[in-house]
Amino acid sequence: MIYSFDPILRPMVWGSELWVLSGYPERLSVVSDGPCKGITINELVAREKERLLGSGGYRRFGDEFPLLIKFLDVHAPLSIQVHPSEEFAQARQGLHGKTEMWYVIRAEKDAELMAGFSREITPDEYVRRVSDGSITDVIARHKIAAGDVFFIPTGRVHALLPGAYIAEIQQTSDSTYRIWDYNRPGLDGRLRPLHTELAKEALDYKVYPEYRTHYQPLRNAETGLVACEYFDTSLLDISAPFRKDLSGLDSFLIVMCLEGSGTLRCGSSERALHPDGCLLVPACESGAEFIPSDGGLKMLLCHL
């Protein structure tokens, strides 16, 4: 069995988000077709349990699908923000933390994003810079191009900037502490609130030597990108059929199509792959076969 879901489009002050797989309670993905058409992803988890999530995943997450998958179309700067750790968010708000990663699908010439501090600052300097609007002066800016990857652990200050189309993989959470929003109104015409004090405690003020994830892309083989406590992601760029053994994975497999088109086959189940699409293979499947069209097929693969 392969599951597909109705996408959820969210207009944002900075562009738009396309939520293609979400277990977040306020925006639950709904199965788009097949015998389970019309039920939510969390209802599907509750029905299938270990068969969908895997035994370890179901013990850990229960009836909540643990990942949130998006495509982001960025036309204006996102707010400067930070996400809390699981422990911090649970202690302060009873919510999940938010670890995430970005894969740059397309980027305009000279496009950039922000991630991490460019120099070490103190919490008191942070508060002062938020109050006078100079916080962006101490955040590292990175030129970006298609294929770039950035891992955004909790505590890392960050913001996407105009001219990028991004695939985002994250925990099922909307826990965001907004640090700076350029004094602009939201879609409702009102200023969006800042979370200065929460962010002050959640921020990692350390400066790191590198914020970009480096990798050597492979053709017709998987390339590992990010492996962390909450997800493991790889890139698969193929021009010929490719079979992936899932028998020892004990996890679902998420397939995000980035470029090209083709077919995903699991046993007797078969689905088309197309850009901006997302398919879910349950943990009970023993293998997946990817068959590219003539122009090739590029995907992100993600599991627990």
138-172 residue pLDDT tens: 999 999 999 999 999 999 999 999 999 999 999 99
Q: What is the pLDDT of residue 75?
A: 98
Give me the chain's average pLDDT, please: 97
What DSSP designation does 31 have? B
Q: What percent of the chain has pLDDT over 70?
A: 100
Q: Which residues contact 188 (CB under 8 A, 6 or more apart)?
A: none
217-264 residue pLDDT tens: 999 999 999 999 999 999 999 999 999 999 999 999 999 999 999 999
Are 297 and 289 a contacting pair, CB within 8 Å?
A: no
- Taking the CA atoms of residue 23, residue 12, residue 114 and residue 73 in that order, the dihedral angle to the nearest 10 degrees is 80
Q: What is the pLDDT of residue 60?
A: 96
Q: What is the pLDDT of residue 209?
A: 95
CATH superfamily of domain region 3-213: Jelly Rolls (2.60.120.10)
- Taking the CA atoms of residue 85, residue 198, residue 75 and residue 165 in that order, the dihedral angle to the nearest 10 degrees is 0
pLDDT-derived band at 304 (thresholds 50, 70, 90) equals: very high
Q: Where are the domains of the chain?
A: 3-213, 222-303
Task: Please count the other Cβ atoms lying within 10 Å of the Cβ belonging to residue 281.
Answer: 26
> Rounded to an integer, what distance in angstroms lies between the CA atom of residue 208 and that of residue 119?
9
Q: What is the pLDDT of residue 222?
A: 97
> Rounded to an integer, what distance in angstroms lies between the CA atom of residue 16 and that of residue 10?
6
pLDDT-derived band at 128 (thresholds 50, 70, 90) equals: very high
> Rounded to an integer, what distance in angstroms lies between the CA atom of residue 166 and that of residue 71?
6
SS3 208: coil
Q: What is the pLDDT of residue 287?
A: 97
Integer-rounded Cα Rg, in Å, for the chain is: 19
Q: What is the pLDDT of residue 67?
A: 98
Assign domain 222-303 to its CATH architecture: Sandwich (2.60)
Are 121 and 204 a contacting pair, CB within 8 Å?
A: no
What does 59-89 look like in DSSP terms, one character per residue? Answer: HHHTTS--EEEEEEEESSPPPEEE---HHHH
26-43 mean pLDDT = 96
35-90 residue pLDDT tens: 999 999 999 999 999 999 999 999 999 999 999 999 999 999 999 999 999 999 99
What DSSP designation does 194 have? P
> Rounded to an integer, what distance in angstroms lies between the CA atom of residue 118 and that of residue 134?
13
pTM of the model: 0.97
pLDDT-derived band at 293 (thresholds 50, 70, 90) equals: very high
Q: What is the pLDDT of residue 145?
A: 98
> Rounded to an integer, what distance in angstroms lies between the CA atom of residue 67 and that of residue 100?
10
- Which parts of the chain are beta strand (E)? 3-4, 8-12, 15-21, 67-74, 80-82, 100-107, 112-117, 139-143, 149-152, 158-160, 164-171, 177-180, 212-213, 222-227, 232-238, 242-245, 253-266, 269-273, 278-281, 287-303
Q: 3-213 and 222-303 share one CATH topology? A: yes
pLDDT-derived band at 3 (thresholds 50, 70, 90) equals: very high
